[in-house]
Structure 1
Amino acid sequence: MWYYLIIALQGFCIYHAIKNRSPYYWIFIIFFLSLIGCIIYIITQVYNKRDAEKITSEITHIINPTKNIRDLEKQLEFSESYQNRVNLADAYLENKDYNNAIKHFKEALDGNFQNDFYVIKNMMEAYHQMEDYKNVVNYGEQIVSHPEFAKSRTQFLYGMALEKEGQIKKAEENLKAIDIRFSFYNERLIYAKFLIDVDKKEEAREILEALISEGQHMTKPNKRLYSNTITEASKMIKAL
């Protein structure tokens, strides 16, 4: 049992170090000094009184990802508030339990929150993961006029779903909106593939060239995160 706890703690510390761009030597300290390295890292780089509760929660989630769901279910049983139900739905979504996530998102929408952008966009994410593109389109149409919809991942999902539903022109209009430099790297790669499929290879080439160029100016964490995307862009442009 202790072995798995130490592995989980190392995973948290390495994740925290990468996320916060800590010097690379911390990763070696955490990895090679095991528990001692983790303790040193937490004391010197992470821990303070305000962070204590957050750290405990994140480590617990790594060790037992369903505990958070059980806790949120108890909160909802105690108080069936809108926010408690949305929190539970979010937890199900994070845990890839899309059916339960959708169920609770729908219940949250009942009543006075029919146009809640946050809930609907998360429902669209769940439906997208389930490849239920018809519902992605249906819910997307409810929030297209919302100011947060434009140039967002939600609009991208809406555009992808429109393509799957055969609405190619409308799909392109929405996918094009996320073609923004130094952002949406994975989404823009998919958009480039879409353009190739509809025989707009020159437009696709421009996006791929931009991705490759931007890849040369990324921070080290982003280079690690999007290395496969840039590599794929390079392969695609050679094939054009």
Structure 2
Amino acid sequence: MYYYIIIALQIFCFYHCYKNGKEYYWYFIIFFIPLIGCVIYLATQVVNKREVSIISEEITTIINPTKKIKDLEKKVEFSETFQNKINLADAYSEIKDFNNAILYYEKALDSGFKNDPYTLNKLIKCYFKVGNFDKVITYSQKINLEKDFKESIYFYGLALEQKGNFEEAETQLKKLDIRYSNYNERLELSNFLIRRNKKTDAKEVLEEMLQEIKSMSKQNAKKYRGVYIEAEKIANGL
């Protein structure tokens, strides 16, 4: 039992350390002096009790993802409220079971919330993940993505491409070409432009990204190192 408690503490501390971008030496302290290292980390780095509770729940979900699902299913069985269905759908989405997530998001919409924009936005991602691009387009056109759900413009643009509406796809994806942000989406925009044989435009997007990352502080540049390598690789291939 003692051994499992130590392992659980280490998992908690590693997770908190990773999530909050703590210094690397904490990983060594937690790993090489498990009990004392964890106690020191908790005492000096974890000060918010609410945060501890949330992360503990997240760790439980990682270790046993079906427990959260079963608990939420029981809540839906007991009371089929809109929020209970949304919570269950969210849990399915978290474990990438998008078909079941879609099922319960759709059931939630049928509970008198047919045009709820937040639920529709969640459905956009899920339908994209299962390859139902018609639904992605339909739901994207029901809500104001540009005003409230900019992250979903990415799914909308790529769905339009899949359905052959290349001009509108480009219009949508270019909305994400914003300096010092949306790096993964801008990588996809460059790939889209290459697929459309617009290599000059693609290179311009990539070179802007590379220049931005070069001008960042060392810490931020390190954060986007993977993006930089990929952007450089694509640019060199043009």
Give TM-score scaled by structure 2 length.
Answer: 0.89
Could you tell me which residue of structure 2 aligns to residue 212 of structure 1? 210
Q: Percent identity over the alignment?
A: 49
- Residues 82, 111 of structure 2: 8 Å contact kept: no
C-alpha distance in structure 2 between counterparts of 1:4 and 1:191, whole Å? 46
Could you tell me which residue of structure 2 aligns to residue 132 of structure 1? 132
C-alpha distance in structure 1 between counterparts of 2:93 and 2:6, whole Å? 27
Could you tell me which residue of structure 1 aligns to residue 72 of structure 2? 72
C-alpha distance in structure 1 between counterparts of 2:196 and 2:80, whole Å? 48
Could you tell me which residue of structure 2 aligns to residue 232 of structure 1? 230
Could you tell me which residue of structure 1 aligns to residue 33 of structure 2? 33
Alignment of 1:142-157 (within 5 A): 142-144=142-144, 147-149=147-149, 152-157=150-155
Number of aligned pairs?
237
Alignment of 1:1-240 (within 5 A): 6-7=6-7, 9-144=9-144, 147-149=147-149, 152-216=150-214, 217=216, 220=219, 223-224=222-223, 226-240=224-238
Gaps of 5+ in 2: none
Q: Which amino acid aligns with 2:125?
A: E
C-alpha distance in structure 2 between counterparts of 1:97 and 1:4, whole Å? 29
How far has the Cα of 1:51 moved from its partner?
Answer: 3.4
How far has the Cα of 1:48 moved from its partner?
Answer: 4.2
Gaps of 5+ in 1: none
C-alpha distance in structure 1 between counterparts of 2:3 and 2:174, whole Å? 48
- Residues 156, 187 of structure 1: 8 Å contact kept: yes
C-alpha distance in structure 1 between counterparts of 2:208 and 2:119, whole Å? 33
Q: Which amino acid aligns with 1:85?
A: K
Q: What are the superposed Cα offsets for residues 122-177 of structure 1, whole Å, 9 maximum, x if unpaired? A: 1111111112222211211211467313xx12111000000011000010011011
- Residues 92, 100 of structure 1: 8 Å contact kept: yes
Would the alpha carbon gap of residues 50 and 145 (structure 1) be closer, same or farther in structure 2, given more than 3 Å must change? Answer: closer
Q: Which amino acid aligns with 1:209?
A: E
Q: What are the superposed Cα offsets for residues 63-85 of structure 1, whole Å, 9 maximum, x if unpaired? A: 21221111111222222211111
C-alpha distance in structure 2 between counterparts of 1:183 and 1:113, whole Å? 33
C-alpha distance in structure 1 between counterparts of 2:205 and 2:7, whole Å? 41
How far has the Cα of 1:62 moved from its partner?
Answer: 2.3
How far has the Cα of 1:14 moved from its partner?
Answer: 2.5
- Residues 21, 221 of structure 1: 8 Å contact kept: no
- Residues 9, 59 of structure 1: 8 Å contact kept: no
Q: Which amino acid aligns with 1:21?
A: G
Computed over aligned residues only, the root mean square deviation of the Cα atoms, in angstroms, reads 2.3
